[in-house]
Structure 1
């Protein structure tokens, strides 16, 4: 693995070999989306390697297939396990992802040979359905988890998350006025770039701390 981005049929690799974050995409955008590109580059600048991959349904779309909805949860989790198996020998290995990808990672982190999990915009509930929470497994997690969340994320606002019962192993990094993509409104006086930099800083600090433990 090199310090530059390498394109491969199944993976995009950025930054050093270790520590390394296996990073999954969200439901609608591929591993090469602008968000995934920028956060990977910022992490590489901070000494954290990133390996991006795609779930089967997104691979099929990229290879000329029609746009289709995400795979069912068992398929997503099985694919996560297969990716971890390929890179389990990497020293100081972490898993995580954007939205759905991060949620799936958090569901297997306790059983995976990794040091922790990073979630960028965790989907605590579906849009406009705050009563349908996706937090049951988060109550008893033992592995270190960092969730980077915008305070006005429509899938989990700060005031909503404050009422959830979450494991003590979970750390939350709140980005003021950020939406599900961590993007603030212009009137906030903040920029998306600033929030992505803050996210990368928080992730690098988390990964370095867990790597040293």
Structure 2
């Protein structure tokens, strides 16, 4: 069982928030988004995938577990915290992709992906979003306009289901950070992402009740 952290008031809509490949649930980006959502009345559950639990224990960096193990850990957290009620799930990069692969779970009301890794940087031929064309549950993709894992101008080539909506973060990279010359700020972009994400969570959560 993966370790996890629950913030926010019990009884509020629940968002299960998975980390990306290189940093765990306590990364600054994860903390900033979680804090913003809690302030808006959402209960946020963060957890570490098994390989990150081991890293926390021994300090040794290791690659992510293979998808079946990641999905098993994610589902265990959903089962534990949902208590039979619908939850919204999502994550940063890899965590968001894993969430999108669990969209058909009966306890999942919707999915939110923060920086979806459509392909490795510079390798558009290695596309990892085929399943997004078939999603039936509501799915929000928050994507930096300059994200090298899938830039705004590439989206015309991506096949996405009608249930998938995309909001682009101005001049943002994979973590929504803009260039100084853009006039946008990292704090402002994260706040913008939190606003859109919170509205999505409330909408799909209460639609599923």
**TM-score range normalised by the length of the shorter chain:** over 0.9
Q: Which residue of 2 aligns with 1:15?
A: 8
Q: Which residue of 2 aligns with 1:74?
A: 68
> What does residue range 53-202 of structure 1 map to in structure 2 within 5 Å?
53-89=47-83, 91-202=85-196
- Is the contact made by 1:20 and 1:90 (CA closer than 8 Å) also made in structure 2? no
Taking a change above 3 Å as real, the CA distance of residues 38 and 145 of structure 1, as seen in their structure-2 partners, is same
TM-score (norm: length of structure 2): 0.94
Q: Name the SS of the counterpart of 2:140 in structure 1.
A: strand
Q: 2:40 aligns with which of 33, 38, 46?
A: 46
- Is the contact made by 2:88 and 2:204 (CA closer than 8 Å) also made in structure 1? no
- Is the contact made by 2:120 and 2:149 (CA closer than 8 Å) also made in structure 1? yes
Displacement of 1:11: 1.4
The farther-off stretch of 82-91 and 25-34 is 82-91
**Equivalent-residue separation in structure 1 for 2:93 and 2:109 (angstroms):** 20
- Is the contact made by 2:88 and 2:205 (CA closer than 8 Å) also made in structure 1? no
- Is the contact made by 2:71 and 2:102 (CA closer than 8 Å) also made in structure 1? yes
**Equivalent-residue separation in structure 1 for 2:42 and 2:84 (angstroms):** 13
Q: Which residue of 2 aligns with 1:209?
A: 203
C-alpha deviations, 1:124-175, integer Å up to 9, x for none?
A: 1011101111111101100111110000000000111221110000110101
Q: Which runs of 5+ in 2 are unaligned?
A: none
Displacement of 1:81: 1.4
- Is the contact made by 1:92 and 1:211 (CA closer than 8 Å) also made in structure 2? yes
**Equivalent-residue separation in structure 2 for 1:78 and 1:198 (angstroms):** 31
Q: Which runs of 4+ in 1 moved over 2 A?
A: none
- Is the contact made by 2:86 and 2:107 (CA closer than 8 Å) also made in structure 1? no
Displacement of 1:70: 0.4
What is the RMSD of the two structures over their aligned residues, measured on CA atoms?
Answer: 1.3
Displacement of 1:92: 4.1
